[in-house]
Structure 1
Amino acid sequence: METGNFRDTIRASECIYLIGVAGDSGSGKTTFTRAFREIFGPDLVCSFSMDDYHILDRDARAKRGITPLHPDANNISLFEEHISLLKQGRTVSKPSYNHTTGTFDAPSLFSPKKIVIVEGLHPFSTAKLRRLFDFTCYVDPDDEVKFAWKIARDVGDRGYSRDQVTAEICTRKPDYEAYVAPQKQYADAILKITPSVYDASQTRGMYAVSLLQERFEKTIKNIVIPLDLFAMTSLAERDFLIGFRSEEQSGRKMGAIRFDGDFRVEVIRRLEEAVEEETGVGPVSLFAGREYVTATEAMELILAWRIINRRIFMECRMQADACMKVV
């Protein structure tokens, strides 16, 4: 498919591209779509949070002894209705949950852009929701990483004490395992985050990140992920690791590519150039002025590549369907 500038193709399309990102609270759901959002820009991409569909405020949940991870604490039927309307390009009156106060603000109108990134605890929890998404991702940090991130966010940004956050993590874990974690089986991509082997004391904030995916049948054959081995081995002055292994997740055979350490920016620049060449979108320069890029940042770009790949496939399919109707 001749994409021209794929931003223009998306802008002109009637299609609303729905991307679902599931995972526990504080798991990094927003972080890993950052590169994709920067590539396509705020005129085309908007975010939609499922947190706003809590039914109970913080005090009411405490009195009932229910966590926000339990489906009964969320208005999933209204969420289904609104996601369906967004997929049709229609505006919804969106509820608003205030994480700072633990109460609800007034609803507000939300109109979709051409790409909608939906983040939440339960976006793949029903068959209807799963049918609506075009691409699904599950973010899965291990407990050690998730604890550190949640402490940093909820204490630093949301005003909780460390003891409150620790108690909440322990209270939420059974509901996480019962209602949130099973959604991994429906994800096109799973991101696993573990402590870096190069930062065992976790003083540098480094992580190893693995991207798990099944063989991608819905793909464009000439899209590749270029890695410059010369730049990796001759220019690097910091440790890094790239690995691949086969894993089984919920009965699915998946391939896992793993990044750890710091990568010379020249290596990642080649990936950016490949995105530019395939999509006509450019310049893609996410790390200008940097010498090194972390494994987390590198994986943001790999995931963006995968999300773009699915959207290009969809465009090819829509063009083929249009040609068949003409014939």
Structure 2
Amino acid sequence: MKESPHFHDLIAASPSVFTLGVAGDSGSGKTTFTQAIRTIFGEDLVSTITLDDYHLYDREERKRRDITPLDPAANDLRGLEEDLSLLKQGKTVLKTVYNHDRGTIQGPVPFTPSRILILEGLHPLYTPRLRELLDFSLYVDPATEVKREWKIKRDMQKRGYDRGEVEKEIARRAEDYDAFIAPQKSYADALVEIGFSRFGRDLGWLRDVYRVSLSLARNELAGDDADLRIDLGRLFSLPDGNFLFEYRKRELFGRKVATLTFDGEPGKEVISGLEGCVARQTGVYPPGLVHPDDTVNATACIRIILAIRIISRWLEIRDPDRPFRVSCGED
């Protein structure tokens, strides 16, 4: 029997550009998920535009105008729409680059898309036109206290700010977040929510262990052998980490969704079926999303499921008449 081509080969040969929007607040963990996409599909197939490159004003000008980068008025969203339309056709655009170290705007420089183009930032789902140009979208939504802890510890430990400065900046941005960023959740194809682990709040900062939920429209993830596996014999005989799974149906922003929650540190074998599914689709084994030790965290579990969903979406666009499923079987 002739071996079916891997997803990597299919998308590399495709003339189209698959566009993926990853939205969320600054410091919300968006890069954790975009890096996973690069790892799975390969650096040669994935390029990323950070939407900070579409800031209209540098850091000093924003201070003078008393405006935050969360305000759409501080960003060239019309220019982003025009560029994305061209990039989706595989064309090169000229765009500026925002230098985070200096807070300055540089360029313009040429940018050519790869077969998978990620738009990561504050406003990828803000306008109807941007949403129309995206093939799949994800909103990353850490709980308020999780995000607060991340920002305080990051800015104090890595950027030299004192706690008062960080808390002042958090308060200054809160109103704009609620007005301009949070409403984009309702348009996302997938929502990732991150909370402190029920097994201990300190596990988050110490070992990156959180409670992570993924919400998708029901029946949007289907596949042969894309399964979770629990070996009860091993479960009761080895001192694995604490973990839990939760599945629930709910209505979110007027849509019926299925929400899968992981918490703690399950044994690696629990997601071996999912990992094998991604490997067979991409031709990359192991996919590189989990650590080589015996346990994984909730974020790794969710990243693997998202990878399967993204593959499904690309295959659906390529052939809308095919049954909507990823085949993860051995044949």
User: 2:6 — aligned with what?
Assistant: 5
The answer as to 2:267 corresponding to 1:264 is: yes
Task: Evaluate the alpha carbon distance shift between residue 263 and residue 236 of structure 1 in structure 2; reply closer, same or farther with a 3 A threshold.
Answer: farther
CA contact (8 A) 1:3 1:9 kept: no
Alignment of 1:97-108 (within 5 A): 97-108=98-109
Q: Is the 8 A contact 1:100 1:158 kept in 2?
A: no
Aligned to 2:69: 68
TM-aligned CA distance change 1:15 to 1:184, over 3 Å: same
- The one-letter code of the counterpart of 1:308 is I
CA contact (8 A) 1:236 1:264 kept: no
Classify 1:288/1:254 alpha carbon distance in 2 versus 1 (closer, same or farther; 3 Å): closer
Unaligned runs of 5+ in 2: 324-331
The offset of 1:246, in angstroms, is 2.0
Amino acid in structure 2 at the alignment position of 1:281: G
Residue in structure 2 matched with residue 42 of structure 1 by the alignment = 43
State the partner residue of 1:283. 285
The answer to whether the 8 A contact 1:34-1:300 is kept is no
2:141 paired with 1:140: yes
Partner of residue 325, structure 1: none
CA contact (8 A) 2:26 2:122 kept: yes
Q: Under a length normalisation based on structure 1, what TM-score does the superposition of the two structures give?
A: 0.90
Q: Distance in 2 between matches of 1:306 and 1:236?
A: 32
| Structure 1 pair 20–209 and aligned structure 2 pair: CA distance change class (3 A) | same
1:247 aligned to which of 247, 250, 253: 250
Post-superposition Cα deviations, 1:30-58, rounded to whole Å, max 9, x if no partner, equal 10233322111100011111011111111
1:276 Cα deviation from its structure 2 partner: 2.5
1:236/1:93 CA distance change after superposition, 3 Å: farther
Pairs within 5 Å for 1:114-153: 114-153=115-154
Tell me how far apart the structure 2 counterparts of residues 260 and 186 of structure 1 sit (CA, whole Å).
Answer: 26
Aligned-residue Cα RMSD (Å) equals: 2.2
1:293 to 283, 287, 296: 296
Residue in structure 2 matched with residue 233 of structure 1 by the alignment: 235
8 Å CA contact retained: 1:214, 1:255: yes
Q: Following TM superposition, by how much is the alpha carbon of 1:123 offset from its aligned partner in structure 2, in angstroms? A: 0.6
Opposite residue 35 of structure 2, the aligned amino acid is R
1:324 aligned residue: none
TM-superposed CA distance for 1:317, in Å, is 2.7
Question: Quick check: 2:240–2:295 contact (8 Å CA) kept in 1?
Answer: no
After TM superposition, give the deviation of residue 182 of structure 1 in Å: 0.5
Deviation at 1:156, TM superposition (A): 4.5
Query: 2:201 corresponds to which residue?
Result: 200
CA distance in 1, matches of 2:143, 2:171: 14
Change (3 A) 1:162 1:58: farther
Give the share of equivalent positions with the same residue, in percent.
Answer: 45
Q: Which letter does structure 2 place at the counterpart of 1:33?
A: T
* Contact kept in structure 1, 2:59 and 2:104, CA below 8 Å: yes
Is there any run of 5+ residues in structure 1 with no aligned partner, and where? Answer: 321-327
Deviations 1:259-313, CA, capped at 9 Å, x for gaps: 0000112222321112223x25222342363111111121111111111111122
Q: Which residue of 2 aligns with 1:79?
A: 80
